[in-house]
Amino acid sequence: MITLIRKQTKTAKNDILSGLTVSLALVPEAVAFAFVAGIDPIVGLYGAFIMGIITSIFGGRPGMISGATGAMAVVMVSLIQEGNKYGLAMENPVDNLGLQWLFITLLVVGVIQITAGLTKMGKFVRLIPHPVMMGFVNGLAIVIFLAQLGMFKEFVTDDSGLILANGDGTLMKQFMSGSELWMMIGLVALTMGIMFTLARITKKIPAALTAIVVVAGIVIFCGIEVSTVGSFVREGAQDPNAGIAGGLPVLQTQLFDLIPSLNWEAMRHILPCAFLLAAVGLIESLMTLNLIDEITETRGSGNRECIAQGSANFLSGIFGGMGGCAMIGQSIINVNAGGRGRLSGIVAAISLMCFILFGSSLIEQIPIAALVGVMFMVVIGTFAWSSFRILNKIPLTDAFVLILVSSLTVLFDLAIAVLAGVIVSALVFSWENAKRIRARKHTTADGIKVYEIWGPLFFGSIQAFNDKFDVKNDPEKIEIDFIESKVSDHSGIEAVRGIVNKYEDAGKTVILKHLSSDCKKLLIKRNIKFEQIIKTDIDDPRYHVVSDTAGIME
């Protein structure tokens, strides 16, 4: 009993400390992604809180952190811009119509994701090949790294201090220079050095949290002028009085207030965006779940995570949050800091809200450099460095898929990258299996030619299967033995039926041996004559055919 209490106490301590660490990293991330989407930072922070608290309590992967993410923010941009443009062009102009469209979209996203969980679609993440997973991890590490480079930029202002804008309306930025740049680099390096050293001395103290506190203390007590979370928010809002908890407009939204926004023009933009957001959110969440499973050597529930993600996005739409999905960077920070239970995610979400409501003055003093250093360490820990060692030791096609997924993750988004990787892997698998079908041939003493088929018979191997037979020159009696072959799908069934018909059209007799009961049933269903053609043996194989289970043979 005492051992159990000590174990629970230690776990709770790790969860609380890691949750506090993660909450510090959530603030600038949520603010930055809100700026990417073109909405007020407070909307991103509310979304991060709602996503974090709901998925931590009800999600399928304890220790995984959810919040506002860049992958979803990029998709939201066009929707919000179109909505705002349409709102200003209306007979009675409506401000922030794009934001209202976003909230309606999140309601639809929630329904789609909950449906995916209820229909057990979360399990399909287990079918993602390992090269796709490695490519996803590498691509995401590069994306996280590139996102941090934006923190080395500063806004371009005019003589009055007003931030200038580009031609497309985005705020103008340029890379830091001089002492400001070197100070930023030095603080980032100091943060990384503290984390690297402390992690090797002891695991009892969270390295990320310690590094943030130490670097923040140095900056505050030494009076060093650097970019902080507070200045980051104020500059992005173009309001010198703005802050995390004040100075920014909070949209008080209710479901009934959004109904007037619904019309054909709105739905034409909302529905495609909702399906894309749902797909991006689920893929990133389930891939992150799979990665955390590997790190912790435990197994989460993909279907439960789908339902939790959908519920959180639905509530974000109702209460005016940005929505989001699982965050791989923060999840790895949490797990590496010892946060393995639901308490870590709950603490992170509640701490985030407390920072917004009560501790904004403290959190605003944290240097951006400290948070960038933490994220750089996450990049180093996330990237699959082993992929360089094994690249020339794995099949060429697997290496191609790994590089393809990494590149597409950086160039486009996670959903496109994973989908492309899975498709290429499936095509390669089909092609390789299509080449494996063989036919051993011999003629018995009584003149019967026997074809012993070896390998899978499916849509990809049909042509090779048909090429094995010499209908014109074969004797009057043919025997096709499937003892070492498996007829996998409807195309395979049709290939068997087709070759039998060819022999019968040539006036020859065919006997089929060692077909599974499913194959027999499906062939007889198509033509009763197969009752005489198929020979039943006691050692017939047993397996299901895809077309039978899918119910498409009728």
Instruction: Give the pLDDT score at 172.
Output: 75
Distances (CA, A) of 421 to 74, 288, 301, 397, 408: 21, 16, 23, 11, 9
Asked if pLDDT for residue 350 goes beyond 90, the answer is yes
Per-residue confidence at 359, pLDDT binned at 50, 70, 90?
A: confident
Report how many domains make up the chain.
2
- Is 344 among the domain residues? yes
For residue 56, pLDDT over 90 is answered with: yes
Q: Which carries the bigger pLDDT value, residue 70 or residue 272?
A: 272
In sequence order, the β-bridge partners of residue 90 are: none
Is 285 a member of any domain?
yes
- Residue 479: its pLDDT value, please? 92
Q: With contact defined as beta carbons under 8 Å apart, do 493 and 522 qualify?
A: yes
The CATH number of whichever domain residue 510 belongs to comes to 3.30.750.24
What is the arithmetic mean of pLDDT over 200-228? 84
Res 450: pLDDT: 92
pLDDT higher than 90, residue 95? no
444-449 long-range contacts, CB within 8 A, separation 24+: 447/475, 447/476, 447/477, 448/475, 448/477, 448/478, 448/479, 449/474, 449/475, 449/477, 449/478, 449/479
Q: What is the mean pLDDT of residues 364-373?
A: 84
Same domain, 375 and 443: no
Q: Same domain for 168 and 256? A: yes
Higher pLDDT, 543 or 282: 282
Q: How confident is the model at residue 91 (pLDDT cuts 50, 70, 90)?
A: low
Q: What is the DSSP letter of 60?
A: S
| Domain boundary, last residue among 356, 390, 424 | 390
Ramachandran area for residue 323 (φ above 0: left; ψ -120 to 50: alpha; else beta): left
For 415, half-sphere exposure in the C-beta direction (CA atoms, 13 angstrom radius) is 14
The tokens describing 223, both together, are 């009076």
Confirm whether 425 is domain-assigned. Answer: no
Both 347 and 442 in one domain: the answer is: no
pLDDT in tens, 372-400: 888 788 788 778 888 888 888 888 888 99
Assess whether 159 and 270 both reside in one domain.
yes
Q: Residues 395-441: pLDDT tens digits?
A: 888 899 999 988 988 887 777 888 888 889 888 888 888 888 889 99
Question: Range with the lowest mean pLDDT among 74-88, 401-415, 488-502?
Answer: 74-88
Q: What domain range is 527 assigned to? A: 435-550
For the stretch 129-182, pLDDT in tens is: 888 888 878 887 888 788 788 788 877 777 766 777 776 556 677 888 888 899
Residue ranges in 297-385 assigned as alpha helix (H): 302-319, 328-336, 342-357, 360-363, 368-382
Q: What is the pTM of this model?
A: 0.68
Backbone angles phi, psi at 454, to 5 degrees: -130, 130
**Bridge partners for 440 per DSSP:** 452
Shared-domain flag, residues 139 and 283: yes
Q: Which two tokens stand for residue 398?
A: 């697997």
Decide: residue 51, CB within 10 A, 0-12 exposed, 13-18 middle, 19+ buried.
Answer: buried
Q: Is the dihedral of CA 534, 540, 545, 551 positive or negative?
A: positive
